[in-house]
Amino acid sequence: MTQMLRSLGIEDSYRSDRNNVVSEFYVPCLSVANRYDRAVGYFTSKSLLAVARGLKSFERNGGRIRLIASPYLTESDIEDIRDGYLYREVIEKAVLREIDPEAECSPRELIGLGLLGRLIAQDMLDVKIAIVHGREGLALYHEKIGLISDKYGDAVAFTGSMNETASAFLENFESIHVFKSWQDHDKNRVDSIRADFDELWAGRTPRLEILDFPEVAKERFVALRKRAAELPTTAKDPKLLSVSTDLTDLGWARTPRDIQLRDYQKTAVAKWLAASGRGMFQMATGTGKTITALAALDQVGRQLHARNLPLVTVVVVPLLDLVEQWTGELRDFGVVPIKCRDASRSWEPAARNAIAGLRARGQGSVTLVVTNATFRAPTFQRLLDAVDLPMLIIADEAHHLGAEHLCTSLPERAAFRLALSATPERWFDPEGTDALKDYFGKVLIELGLKEAIDLGTLTRYRYYPILVPLSDDEAEQYTELTVKIGALIRSTEPESTGDDDKSPLGMLLGKRAKVLGHARAKIPALREELERRKGSAFQLVYCAEGGVPLPEGGTGRRQVDEVLELVGKELEFRAHTFTSREDKRQRKDLLQAFATGRDLQVLVSMRCLDEGVDLPDARVAYMLASSTNPRQFIQRRGRILRRAPGKSLAEVIDFVVVPPQDPTLFEIERRLFRRELARCVEFAGHAENYGEALAKLRDLRDYYQLLDV
């Protein structure tokens, strides 16, 4: 499967504190490239082992590597030069010392070194040695530049602290800055770095002497290649990938050896295969839906490959953050997906070329990860219409696709279909729920909260419902909206009661949720709860969206800003917002700081932590937002219940607004409040302090005659 560099979503920089530079940059880039030029300070024979995954595909692409480096000189080498030995002989000795064909090494190392030997034998890897002639004799060449190019003429150039050594890749704290030829503001930098490298390679750079790689060193690499070929068959399975590399080269997913599926995950995959590759996994947040889906992709891929059939997999996700999350997980399974998001020019050529290549080859797999917004766009729909190969649709957070404008975009020609959701039921939208089941098939596994906790996949917790009242003006707004909602619920017009936020019912429910979410009594109640946990880290505050709705119309101050002032300024927690106003890089930095337990104690968010963000270290969550849809609460509790080292118990503080309890609105309030109260009761019932939590809710259940909930 051939892709383009520009389809990989390459960052502008990579740094060890927030990236795995090998898996996030080197491996994906090399796996789609056909040229790699690198000039570095140090080079050792084992340095390319860390990116051998990319080199397998690089070799298949007919790629060529040109490497310029300084040898690693010991104190003895330096003394020899000072004592008058010819520096060329000393340098050759240093290079040969790094490549001992008889040295003890693991099968993993031997396979990688054998790959280098094969590249050298095939004239795909050419190495030169750089020596600096300084004022006081020889000096080390310390420059670090690189270029990776593909057959489409695109290139990425990079500079930074990283040498081409195993320790630089795997242990040191390193960083690189990346420039892309297809971006106008980067093109000159790419051209400049390319010119510098070409001058180096030709030996035209002042003060630098470029020596050919010793022939004896080449012969030693070739000898290592022969040793690798003589390994027993059982030892040849290259653990460079942590997954089998035979079929991942064709784009097939393979489950990594370090992932051990739980029994319920194995059962889910088996049921899906038995249902002809159709169905839904209803699994609580944090129980491994993504891994289960990828294990299913692995298994269906094995069956298709055995029948010499190809596969196009389309993973549909609601958020950009989930694109990145799925991309990372897929790479762990040996798959480099095409990320379909933003402007179509950034992904459409790569996707069409990959599918065309798959069609011509007749075997292998292509995987696309696409946002809901791009999925329903005409460009992507035309791409799907042109696919005449076996297709698998994986829908993450599948409940989003029940909306009519998305459900009608699902391709009927997809033979295999898998929906993932903790909450597939769509709130006030039975037609949308039925449409999802009609398309994907029945629910094959239901793993709820209690089962997940009993299995040890989620953390035990305490639940504290905090009842807060509405003020007089808030109660008046609430009552007016409730009357209108009741009228719509009784309506027989399906378009009025859809789950879409823009439907008449959706808009009214949203306005009512804002009144509840922004109830002024929540802020002093929050202060009291925060003061009880003063100094503690790993705390999340989920705020209502937007500004407080004003009686005269319009909105006032954002609750998230009010809460940040309370938490950060008044109570002096180390706190920060996590909202759409923070860009992707800021979010990474915030999550990293939060995970330390020192640099950042509290994250204050609205919806950005609902789906697609892993915060396993979080231990306390304050739920200020009052959603009419219980799904939001379920997603948020899933964030807080994920397991993490040192985490044995979580706390959820849920601020539940007590409705005005107007007798004239009793029936409609009871109907609306039933599911809100149901999720509170269900969550309380599985808590460590279930008796205390249920007691807090008893009066409300009694008033609304919901003791049966």
**pLDDT tens digits, residue range 148-184?**
999 989 999 999 864 444 433 333 456 789 999 999 9
DSSP 17: T
**pLDDT tens digits, residue range 635-661?**
777 778 888 888 999 999 999 988 888
Instruction: Judge contact between 572 and 507, C-beta under 8 A.
Output: no
Confidence band of 494 (pLDDT split at 50, 70, 90): low
Does residue 613 register a pLDDT over 80?
A: no
The whole-number average pLDDT for the span 480-486 is 85
Count CB neighbours of 677 within 10 A.
20
Q: What is the pLDDT of residue 104?
A: 55
Does residue 100 register a pLDDT over 50?
A: yes
For residue 460 the two structure tokens come to 């035990």
Helix, coil or strand: residue 224: helix
Q: What is the pLDDT of residue 180?
A: 96
For residue 139 the two structure tokens come to 């000096």
The whole-number average pLDDT for the span 202-209 is 87
Q: What is the pLDDT of residue 242?
A: 39
| Burial class for 476, CB neighbours closer than 10 Å (0-12, 13-18, 19+) | middle
| Burial class for 707, CB neighbours closer than 10 Å (0-12, 13-18, 19+) | exposed
Does residue 604 register a pLDDT over 80?
A: yes
Confidence band of 703 (pLDDT split at 50, 70, 90): confident
Does residue 387 register a pLDDT over 80?
A: yes
Residue ranges in 333-429 assigned as alpha helix (H): 348-361, 372-376, 378-385, 404-407
The whole-number average pLDDT for the span 244-257 is 68
The CATH number of the domain covering residues in 5-235: 3.30.870.10
Confidence band of 117 (pLDDT split at 50, 70, 90): confident
Cα separation, 104 vs 101, in Å, equals 9
Does residue 75 register a pLDDT over 70?
A: no
Instruction: Judge contact between 466 and 654, C-beta under 8 A.
Output: yes
Q: Do 248-454 and 461-472+517-703 have matching folds?
A: yes
Confidence band of 74 (pLDDT split at 50, 70, 90): low
**pLDDT tens digits, residue range 526-570?**
999 999 999 899 999 999 888 887 777 778 889 999 999 999 999
Higher pLDDT, 580 or 247: 580
Q: Which fold has domain 248-454?
A: Rossmann fold (3.40.50)
What element of type H or E holds 282? strand 278-283
Query: What are 279's strand-pairing partners?
Result: 418
Please identify which residue in the block is written with the tokens 């909450």. 423
**pLDDT tens digits, residue range 8-51?**
888 898 876 666 677 778 878 888 899 999 887 665 554 555 44
Q: What is the pLDDT of residue 540?
A: 93
Candidate from 214-228, 260-274, 470-484 with smallest mean pLDDT? 214-228
Burial 81-92 (b: 16+ CB within 10 A, else e): beeeeebeebbb
**pLDDT tens digits, residue range 319-351?**
887 888 898 899 888 888 899 987 888 888 888
Instruction: Judge contact between 644 and 537, C-beta under 8 A.
Output: no
Instruction: Judge contact between 31 and 57, C-beta under 8 A.
Output: yes
Does residue 230 register a pLDDT over 80?
A: no
Please state the length of the chain. Answer: 709
Q: What is the pLDDT of residue 170?
A: 37
Please identify which residue in the block is written with the tokens 């003061």. 531
Show me where the domains of the chain are located: 5-235, 248-454, 461-472+517-703
Higher pLDDT, 670 or 224: 670
Cα separation, 306 vs 160, in Å, equals 45
Instruction: Judge contact between 563 and 541, C-beta under 8 A.
Output: yes
**What's at 706, amino acid-wise?**
L
Helix, coil or strand: residue 615: coil
Q: What percentage of the chain exceeds 90 in pLDDT? A: 31
Q: Which fold has domain 461-472+517-703?
A: Rossmann fold (3.40.50)
Higher pLDDT, 398 or 245: 398
Instruction: Judge contact between 296 and 418, C-beta under 8 A.
Output: yes
Does residue 525 register a pLDDT over 80?
A: yes
Closest CA to 25 of 46, 54, 59: 54
The whole-number average pLDDT for the span 262-280 is 95
Q: What are phi and psi of 71, to 5 degrees?
A: -75, 160
